[in-house]
Structure 1
Amino acid sequence: MRPMKAVDGITRERFECNVVPAYEPVVMRGLVGHWPLVAQGRAGLEACLQYLTGFDKGAVVDAVLAKPGPTRAFSYKPDLDGFNFMHDKRPYAALFEQLWRYSHFPEPPSLAAQSALVPEALPGLERANACPLLDADAAPRLWIGNRATVPAHFDDSHNIACVAAGRRRFTLLPPACAPLLYLGPPDYAPTPAPMSVVPDLHTADPVRFPLIAEALAQAIVAELEPGDAIYIPPLWFHQVESLAPHLNILMNYWWRPEAAPGRADDLHLASLRLAMLALRHLPDGEREGWRALFGHYVFGARGEGLMHIPEAQRHLFGEIDAAQDALMRRDIAGRLKP
């Protein structure tokens, strides 16, 4: 493992021109150190929860609860026939009260409310604590809990994650590490994101998971303090450990630019599952044939490789507008009907 690249004093121009195109994770020290939420987090658990309560309108949020253990991971059960945590919906008031009670336990259960859309759950918090690198229409999500681990997973969106209270350790691995991470099924995971079945990369059983050592050799690691933020590019695997014993708060922003004016950029995971479903039953030779065609049609044919087709006649090889996109989606949806 090696330390993650870190920068100070990042501006939006530098972020858009240098950080995002590089397709590598970067820690941005002190990016949101000016947030009132960060100041309240530094003041302590009770002050921070009281501050958040001022924005609470009583909406219910997703909460998870797991028994205390060595890894404190929200993960699969050991035999993968379910998940090792309870899930329910509750108002923030109940969650805050439980976090306060658990702060008096020497080894409390792991409790967290994850991925709550801030404008709906705590309206106004997003305006009082705005990300300086994004437009206001990039709605943040809030992650709040005590000490716990989210195993290695990937998202298909750009991600800026801002630590507002507590400390978090991020372990990131490039997409090419997928074969080394013992990934669970993409349609059966503890969260909506595809996830590794290994609860904690750093304590993985080398007999059961021998490839993890090879994966960790390619990993980059960073520990973030309140006010720090991290940029995670799409598809990079990340394990996230909330380290403070009683209160950790993260506000993150997922976004994807439009593929073209009026065209949503939203088909990635759907196309992955569809390809798995369509090709799974084929013999190995035919699967290799499809691998070659995907390499050409999806990833290869561009630039000089298309010079034999007039630009106006490139159709799906070329640029398409929102109307063409909608027409193709309807055609594909029709082909999927039984």
Structure 2
Amino acid sequence: MKFTHRNSPMVMRGLVKSWPVVQEARASVHSAVNYLSSFYSGHKVVAWEGPQSTKGRVFYSDDFRALNCNPVSRRLDSVLAQLVTLAKLKDAPLLYVATASIEKCLPDFSVENRLTFGVDNPAASIWLGNRTRISAHYDVPENIACNVVGRRRFILFPPEQLENLYIGPVDFTPAGQAISLVDFHNPDPIKFPNFIKAAKSALVVDLEPGDALYIPSMWWHHVEGLDACNVLVNYWWNDIDVHVPPSDALLHGLMAIRQLPEEKRIIWKRLFDYYLFSSDQTFSHIPESTRGVLGANDGEQIKKLCQFLSKRLDVKN
């Protein structure tokens, strides 16, 4: 398979149906769990655990001072075994493992369960849990999500629906990315009146074992495990080398620019448009040898700039 970038999600039915883990899942959840555990290296993972009252939703506490579940360092094989046990309960507590590295946890898994799509060294991760709900969020990398055990539902929104998704804090999040505060099972039309606009543009995709979904960079996606045991394998990559996460620049801007008077913010917006967002700005009027970060951002140049910014931030603190 040779993957070509797209600007919209794409469902790929049966893409990994031949994977042994999918075949084991079709036999039984217990068979799939035993198969995965056979590859386990002993590397511990972070498992999110929460009471029945969460109803599977990984979210904030009522006062937003904490999360409604707790991260616990655990062996992956014990989490898998517990999922089988919890599957027998009608109202099970929340149990969820996000983005655990396959290379570290299941180093030989990819020998038998391999997906090649023309991308060099994508980051491969495994996600597993019971009937969990992960609020809508975006990821910077491109993403191919391969569903291997249980059923999963994705609800996707294009980037332009940002304002209608009511995004929460950017510096205190369940898993690193800001999330929508809307409960998709029970959206509050009074508190979140514009969510109805986002809902009209939503794409709803249900994945069976063996199905896969391509999620473009920056598309918002809400993910729900529909069965008592769910396992997903995903591949992340960037079309170009990203030396510094763009979200870091956003946080820096929030500290440095957001509090300025409006007339100064307008000036800084013009500067950002000029240096970052203009499609025809080549800086050809500057000799190439002296363009610095305005030229090609190679690794050495980025390293020097990061060191410079680090010193500046240390001085301010």
Common fold by TM > 0.5: yes
Over the matched positions of the two proteins, sequence identity in percent amounts to 33
Match of 1:290 among 261, 268, 273: 268
Q: Closer, same or farther in 2 for the Cα pair 1:81/1:322, shift >3 Å?
A: closer
CA distance in 1, matches of 2:271, 2:119: 39
Measured after TM superposition, the shift of residue 188 of structure 1 is 0.3
Measured at CA, do residues 284 and 307 of structure 1 come closer, stay the same or move farther in structure 2, by a change above 3 Å?
A: closer
What's the counterpart of residue 128 of structure 1?
112
Q: Secondary structure at the match of 1:203?
A: coil
Whole-angstrom distance in 1 between the partners of 2:47 and 2:303: 36
Name the residue aligned to 2:173: 189
Partner of 2:307: 330
Give, in whole Å, the separation in 2 of the partners of 1:165 and 1:320: 42
2:285 is matched with 309
**Could you tell me whether the CA contact under 8 Å between 1:60 and 1:91 is conserved in 2?**
yes
Distance 1:327 1:52 in 2: 43
- Contact 1:112–1:145 (CA<8 Å) still a contact in 2? yes
Alignment of 1:1-338 (within 5 A): 11-12=1-2, 15-16=3-4, 20=5, 22-69=6-53, 72-135=56-119, 137-198=121-182, 200-244=183-227, 246-259=228-241, 264-300=242-278, 302-303=279-280, 305-306=281-282, 309=285, 312=288, 314-338=291-315
2: CA distance, partners of 1:68 / 1:276 = 37
- Find the aligned partners of 2:297 and 2:101 in 1 and give their Cα distance: 32
CA contact (8 A) 1:32 1:228 kept: yes
Aligned length: 314
Shift of residue 91 of structure 1?
0.8
Letter in 2 for 1:268: P
Q: How far does residue 115 in structure 1 lie from its aligned partner after superposition?
A: 1.2
State which drifts further: 100-109 or 323-332: 323-332
Checking the alignment, whether the CA contact within 8 Å between 1:76 and 1:197 is kept in structure 2 is no
Deviation at 1:272, TM superposition (A): 1.1
What's the offset of the Cα at 1:308? 6.4
- CA RMSD of the aligned region, Å? 2.1
Q: What amino acid maps onto 1:274 in structure 2?
A: H
Q: Contact between 2:55 and 2:94, CA under 8 Å: does it hold in 1?
A: no
Q: Structure 1: which 5+ residue stretches go unaligned?
A: 1-10
Task: Render the CA deviation track for 1:183-240: whole Å, top value 9, x for unaligned.
Answer: 1111101111221222x33521111211211111122121111111111111111100
Supply the distance in 2 between the matched residues of 1:49 and 1:327 (Cα, whole angstroms).
Answer: 47
Aligned AA (1:163) = N
Q: Which residue identity is paired with 1:46? A: H
> In the alignment, residue 216 of structure 2 is paired with which amino acid?
P
Q: Give the residue type in structure 1 aligned to 2:173.
A: A
In the alignment, the residues of structure 2 paired with residue 100 and residue 63 of structure 1 have an alpha-carbon distance, to the nearest angstrom, of 15
Aligned residue in 2 for 1:3: none
Q: What is the identity, as a one-letter code, of the residue corresponding to 2:20?
A: P
Instruction: Measure the CA separation in 2 of the matches of 1:329 and 1:70.
Output: 40
SS at match of 2:214: strand
In the alignment, the residues of structure 2 paired with residue 40 and residue 99 of structure 1 have an alpha-carbon distance, to the nearest angstrom, of 16
Per the TM alignment, residue 134 of structure 1 is displaced from its structure 2 partner at its CA by: 4.7
Q: TM-score, normalised by structure 2?
A: 0.91
Give the whole-Å Cα distance in 2 for the aligned partners of 1:317 and 1:93: 49
Q: 1:246-267, CA deviations, whole angstroms, 9 ceiling, x for partnerless residues? A: 21110011112443xxxx4333
Map Cα deviations across residues 269-328 of structure 1 (whole Å, 9 max, x no partner): 11111111111321122122222221222101x43x447626736544433433333333
**8 Å contact 1:76–1:82 — kept in the other structure?**
yes
Partner SS state of residue 84, structure 1: coil
**Which runs of no fewer than 5 residues in structure 2 stay unpaired?**
none
Q: CA deviation at 1:141?
A: 0.7
Decide whether the 8 Å contact of 1:126 with 1:139 is kept in 2.
Answer: no
Q: Deviation of residue 71 (structure 1)?
A: 5.1
CA distance in 1, matches of 2:226, 2:253: 38
Residues in 1 aligned to 2:214 and 2:75: alpha-carbon distance in whole angstroms: 30
The AA in structure 2 aligned to 1:212 is F
